[in-house]
């Protein structure tokens, strides 16, 4: 019989467990506080407390819908520009948690990260078509970095920042497994799989605390229960994986080109972000659906698929808004906007293929979910994470086999066409 002290480093295991749980709890609280701050600012800026930027935009007069994103971009640009000028000579750690884990020692520039998050809060609450989740994950990793520097050894700092990133993603997307595998797939070779345990614990803890703060367990996207795909539908999912494998690199190229066009204007950051916001405002005169990160639009598509031409028109307008926001340098992520683009492309494909009168709507929804997963896989080169992300966000785990194959196809083709993912070419703030 083995004695207790013969077990490998039981005290170290318990210590890691406690730290992972603590980081998970703190990350969930940080994400919740950011979300509440966003709702508060939306109420102040827009007079709307529903939490839906699309509904807020629809209720505004045209002139306010036009200028509000530009004002938010101008304020965010002034904040970032002022900080850059004030700290020009000060050496700093990165404000990108991917960089801190991959090439750094796990330290983040805390003041600069907080300023970037505040700027992201301004552009998100004023309607820019950029993801709010990037700032949420950044804040979670900032806390984890500060905690790690205060209470752990330097050789563990990267692990705890990874725990913060996974916990932040779990809180933002209600997807703890996908958040954990995001770390394992994106940073493969940097974070050893043996260290994945604390990452999973932090992510699951964050989700449980998020559910507690939200008043119950909820899915991010509500979808009517779909039956398992039939063989023909598996074939359609595979074809969509091929299309996404081509669309992913094209989407990355469009974002990179948009950024280059904005830089050629040689504007100061306040004017550049204001111009990006003004473009979003102009597009919102056509339809208010271009405001925000696209979450509410995807939810409406999944609840009741609209006509093909309507989806195509919204996709064009929203895509232009996303490119304007990301290209202008608006701080935030393109993770959720990517889900929107994928859902719209998939729904277009599904409606085109849904020739059976009794099954057209279900096929459109199935293809929308497949599009979300495959475009995410094509842009991140992380097929397992993308598959689990959509399954966890919607609760549709019956789609897992078909989604996994489609995502692997999309990721492989995308990697062949463009070796660099969205994270390697710096087109997004991760999340």
Q: Is position 423 within any domain?
A: no
Cross-strand partners of 333: 131
Same domain, 57 and 132: yes
Same domain, 25 and 169: yes
Residue-range definition of the domain harbouring residue 332: 231-417
Same domain, 245 and 348: yes
List the structure tokens of 380. Answer: 């991140």
As a whole number of angstroms, the distance between CA 76 and CA 274 comes to: 9
Same domain, 46 and 175: yes
- 183, 214, 245 — which closes off a domain? 214
Task: Enumerate residues 6+ apart whose C-beta is below 8 A from 133.
Answer: 169, 172, 173, 293, 333, 335, 336, 431
**For position 16, which CATH number holds?**
1.10.3080.10
Same domain, 208 and 145: yes
Q: Is position 192 within any domain?
A: yes
As a whole number of angstroms, the distance between CA 152 and CA 422 comes to: 31
Same domain, 335 and 186: no
Same domain, 80 and 202: yes
Same domain, 291 and 164: no
Q: What is the pTM of this model?
A: 0.87
Structural domain tally of the chain?
A: 2
Q: Is position 222 within any domain?
A: no
pLDDT tens for the chain, 431 residues: list them: 444 444 456 777 788 889 999 999 999 999 999 999 998 988 887 877 677 888 888 888 999 999 999 999 999 999 999 988 888 756 566 677 777 777 777 788 888 899 999 999 999 999 888 888 889 999 999 999 999 999 888 888 888 998 999 999 999 998 888 888 877 766 655 555 556 788 888 999 999 999 888 877 778 888 877 777 888 889 999 999 999 999 999 999 999 999 999 999 999 999 999 999 999 999 999 999 999 888 889 999 998 888 888 999 999 999 999 999 999 998 888 888 999 999 999 999 988 776 544 456 788 899 999 999 999 999 998 898 999 999 999 988 889 999 999 999 999 999 999 888 877 654 444 45
Same domain, 307 and 255: yes
Q: Is position 428 within any domain?
A: no
Between the CA of residue 3 and those of 7, 11, 17, 56, 152, what are the distances in Å? Answer: 8, 14, 21, 64, 28
Q: Is position 66 within any domain?
A: yes
Same domain, 403 and 322: yes
Terminal-to-terminal C-alpha distance of the chain: 48
Same domain, 209 and 235: no
- 154, 180, 214 — which closes off a domain? 214
Same domain, 81 and 205: yes
């Amino acid at each position: 019989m083995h004695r207790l002290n013969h077990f490998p480093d039981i005290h170290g295991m318990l210590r890691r467990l406690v730290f992972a749980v603590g980081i998970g709890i703190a990350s969930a609280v940080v994400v919740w506080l950011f979300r509440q701050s966003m709702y508060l600012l939306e109420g102040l800026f827009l007079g709307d407390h529903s939490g839906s930027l699309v509904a807020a935009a629809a209720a505004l007069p045209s002139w306010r819908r036009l200028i509000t994103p530009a004002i938010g971009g101008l304020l965010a640009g002034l904040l970032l520009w002022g900080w850059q000028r004030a700290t020009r000579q000060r050496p700093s750690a990165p404000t990108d948690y991917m960089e801190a884990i991959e090439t750094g020692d796990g330290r983040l520039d805390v003041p600069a990260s907080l300023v970037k998050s505040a700027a992201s809060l301004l552009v998100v609450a004023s309607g820019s078509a950029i993801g709010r989740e990037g700032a949420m994950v950044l804040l979670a990793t900032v806390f984890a970095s500060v905690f790690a520097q205060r209470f752990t050894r330097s050789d563990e700092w990267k692990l705890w920042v990874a725990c913060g990133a996974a916990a932040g993603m779990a809180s933002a997307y209600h997807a703890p497994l996908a958040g954990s595998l995001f770390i394992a797939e994106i940073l493969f070779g940097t974070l050893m799989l043996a260290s994945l345990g604390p990452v999973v614990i932090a992510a699951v803890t964050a989700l449980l605390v998020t559910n507690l703060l939200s008043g119950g367990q909820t899915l991010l996207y509500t979808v009517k229960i779909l039956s398992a795909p039939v063989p023909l539908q598996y074939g359609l999912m595979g074809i969509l994986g091929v299309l996404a494998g081509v669309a992913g690199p094209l989407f990355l190229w469009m974002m990179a080109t948009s950024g280059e066009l904005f830089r050629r204007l040689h504007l100061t950051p306040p004017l550049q972000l204001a111009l990006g916001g003004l473009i979003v405002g102009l597009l919102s005169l056509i339809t208010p659906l271009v405001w925000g990160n696209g979450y509410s639009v995807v939810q409406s598509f999944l609840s009741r698929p609209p006509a093909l031409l309507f989806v195509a028109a919204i996709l064009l307008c929203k895509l232009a808004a996303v490119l304007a926001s990301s290209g202008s340098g608006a701080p935030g992520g393109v993770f959720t906007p990517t889900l929107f683009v994928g859902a719209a492309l998939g729904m277009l494909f599904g409606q085109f293929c849904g020739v059976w009168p009794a099954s057209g709507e279900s096929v459109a929804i199935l293809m929308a979910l497949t599009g979300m997963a495959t475009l995410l896989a094509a842009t991140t080169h992380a097929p397992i994470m993308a598959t689990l992300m959509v399954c966890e966000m919607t609760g549709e785990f019956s789609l897992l086999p078909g989604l996994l194959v489609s995502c692997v196809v999309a990721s492989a083709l995308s990697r062949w066409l463009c070796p660099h993912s969205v994270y390697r070419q710096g087109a997004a703030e991760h999340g």
